[in-house]
A = this chain, B = another copy of it.
Amino acid sequence: MLYFIGLGLGDCKDITVKGLEIVRQCSRVYLEAYTSILTVGKEALEEYYGRELLLADRDIVEQQADEILKGADVSDVAFLVVGDPFGATTHSDLVLRALNAGIQYRVIHNASIMNAVGCCGLQLYNFGETVSIVFWMDTWRPESFYDKIKKNRDMGLHTLCLLDIKVKEQSMENLMRGRKIYEPPRYMTVAQAAEQLLEILQNRRDRGEELAMTEDTVCVGLARVGAEDQTIRSGTLQELASSDLGGPLHSMIISGHLHPLEVDMLKLFSGPEGLKTLKMTDSSTYAS
C-alpha cells in the first residue's frame, strides 16, 4: 500500500493520530520537500516519529518515481506531504503510476493552506479562484494572476494568493553547465507580493485600464498559519507592502465584498487605523 499522508501546517504534532500510526509501521517513509515546508525541519520530524525520512525532491518524485513505489505492492510505503496531499499541489501522477504498477493507495487528509486561511475570519465559500504569485525576474514579469483577482473582485469574491517557493533551484549558469549546485531556498513574502501588485496597478493605470483594486484595497497577510508563531495582518495593499511578517511561509488574500462579521474578524488583525478605507455599500456589505 502507498499511503499519502498530510502533515498539516504547523509542527510535528499536527499529523493525525491515524497518520502517525501508519508512519511508524511503514517500511519506508518519504518526505515530499519541494512544494511546501513545515515550520519544523526534517530532523524534528524524524525524532518525533522515531523514523528515518527519505527526502523526496522534485527530481525523485517526477523522474524516479519507481524508487518510491518499489515493493509497495507487498509492503507499506508512506509519502508525507506538508498540508494535505491533494491540497496546494497534487500528486495525481504518483497515484496513477502506483495503480499502473498494481499498487493500491490511500490518502490520510490534513489541513492545507487552502482551508486553513479561514482562520483570518474570511469565509471560505466567499473565495473565488485561487491564484499563484511568482517571483518576477528581469525579463519575465507575468501579470496573469492580477486578471484572475479582477474576475473574483468583480463577483465580490476574495482571492487567496499562494506565494512563490523556490527550493533546490539551479542558477541559469549552473543549469546550462549541468552542475547540480543549488541556490539557497527563497520564499516570497507578503510584502514582496504586495509590491508586485502595486507595480501592476501602476502599469494598468498608465494604460488607462479600469482597475480591479487600488492601493487602498483591504488585504490580509498570513505567515506560518497553524504554527505557534502564526501571524496575521490585515490592512490596505499599501500597508502590507511595508509589512514584516517574519519567516516563511506567507500567503495573502485580496478581499472582495465583506460581511460585517468578516470585518469584525479582520479588525482583530489590523492596526488601530486599519481598515479605515472600508466603506459600507449596503447594510450587510463592506468593500474597499
Q: List residues of chain A with CB under 8 Å of any chain B CB.
A: 6, 8-18, 20-21, 84-88, 90, 92-93, 95-96, 99, 107-112, 114-116, 118-119, 121, 123-132, 151, 155, 157, 162, 225-226, 261-262, 264-265, 268
Contacts and interface: CB of A to CB of B under 8 A. Distances in A.
A109 B116 contact: yes
Contacts of A18: 10-11, 13-14
Nearest to A112: B115
How many monomers of this chain does the complex have? 2
Contacts of A14: 16-18, 108-109
B99 A268 contact: yes
A45 B189 CA distance: 40
Contact of A124 (B10, B93, B130): B130
A84 B127 contact: no
A17 B128 CA distance: 32
Contact of A17 (B20, B123, B264): B20
Contact of A125 (B109, B132, B262, B268): B132
B121 A8 contact: no
A128 to B, nearest CB: 6
Of A108, A115, A124, most B-chain CB atoms within 10 Å: A115
A128 B256 CA distance: 14
27 contacts: A8-B16, A10-B18, A13-B16, A13-B18, A14-B18, A15-B16, A84-B116, A84-B118, A85-B118, A86-B115, A86-B116, A86-B118, A93-B261, A95-B265, A109-B115, A109-B116, A109-B119, A109-B225, A115-B115, A124-B130, A125-B129, A125-B131, A125-B132, A125-B162, A129-B155, A129-B157, A151-B155
Nearest to A110: B111
Given A96-B264, A127-B130, 14 more contacts: A8-B16, A10-B18, A10-B109, A14-B17, A84-B111, A107-B119, A112-B124, A114-B114, A114-B115, A115-B115, A125-B129, A125-B131, A128-B129, A129-B157
Contacts of A17: 12-17, 20
A219 to B, nearest CB: 18
Nearest to A230: B107
B125 A128 contact: no
Nearest to A151: B155
A17 B126 CA distance: 30
Residue of A20, A88, A92 most packed against chain B (CB within 10 A): A92
Scoring A8, A84, A96, A111 by chain B CB atoms within 10 A of each residue's CB, the highest score goes to: A111
Contacts of A85: 118
Contact of A127 (B96, B129, B131, B268): B129
Contact of A109 (B9, B86, B129): B9
